[in-house]
Structure 1
Amino acid sequence: MDREYQIQEGYLIIKAGRELDHHRAEHIREILARIQRERVIKHIIFDFSGTGFMDSSGVGMMISRYRELSVTGGTVCAAGLCPAVEKLFYVSGLHKIIRIYPEVEDVFNEQK
């Protein structure tokens, strides 16, 4: 996946980027707003496979997406977490509301 995002089998897949900090979190919010003006999004997968750092802005952005989608029965998943980002998911409690998968493809394999 070369682009920042793609839509596959009803899921919006967004690359988290190298660092999911304040600037990147704001950029992702803008991407989501633009896409959601054009189509209904119920399921998001955040691809962390190239991400080595995430701060509280990233945590906040993930929680906001979860709240927004859970109201309509949607889901938010995360895939490809490095150990540092996975630790933040557990310390912050994100793992309780956002399913974690080893790779993006595993989300689709579970659905079959």
Structure 2
Amino acid sequence: MQLREGVKADFEVINNCLVIKLLEELDHHNAISIREQSDKLITGKNIKDIIFDFTGSEFMDSSGIGVIMGRYKKIIFTGGKVAVTGVNQSVDRIFRLSGLYKIIHKFETIEDAVNKFNHN
């Protein structure tokens, strides 16, 4: 299931896991639309885990951190997990400095993350 409603990301659901493939920077320009679309899917599709794929994104600001934290807070109480894939050096640095890696997982590929989540 691919959705594109003016959002700078592709959304796909794989085994109750929402994959958000970012097509541009996760910044204040597109944070609201990504948050709104992902929240609709989390509620409507019984999402357990979320994967943010940064392969198509080279930058994230504090709005992006807010998007990730907000989705984490939505699924953590049902045992869900959040992961990131495809992070470049700049985005990786933001994750490390912000402390996000203490609560989210990092994988090389979407497939690695989906496989890990499905085996837990």
Provide TM-score, normalisation by structure 1.
0.89
Indicate the RMSD between aligned Cα atoms, in angstroms.
1.8
Identity across aligned pairs (percent)?
A: 41
Is residue 16 of structure 1 aligned with residue 43 of structure 2? no
Give distance in 1, aligned partners of 2:28 and 2:44. 25
**Unaligned stretches of 5+ residues in structure 2:** 4-9
Provide the secondary structure at the position in 1 that maps to 2:29: helix
**Aligned AA for 2:60?**
M
Deviation at 1:14, TM superposition (A): 0.6
Preserved CA contact (<8 Å) 2:16 2:45: no
**Cα distance in 2 between the residues matched to 1:76 and 1:60:** 13
Name 1:28's counterpart in structure 2: 34
Q: 2:56 aligns with which of 26, 50, 53?
A: 50
Name the SS of the counterpart of 2:57 in structure 1: coil
Once residues 94 and 80 of structure 2 are traced to their aligned partners in structure 1, the CA distance between those partners, rounded to angstroms, is 23
Q: Which runs of 4+ in 1 moved over 6 A?
A: none
The residue aligned with 1:68 is: 74
Counterpart Cα distance in 1 of 2:39 and 2:64:
16
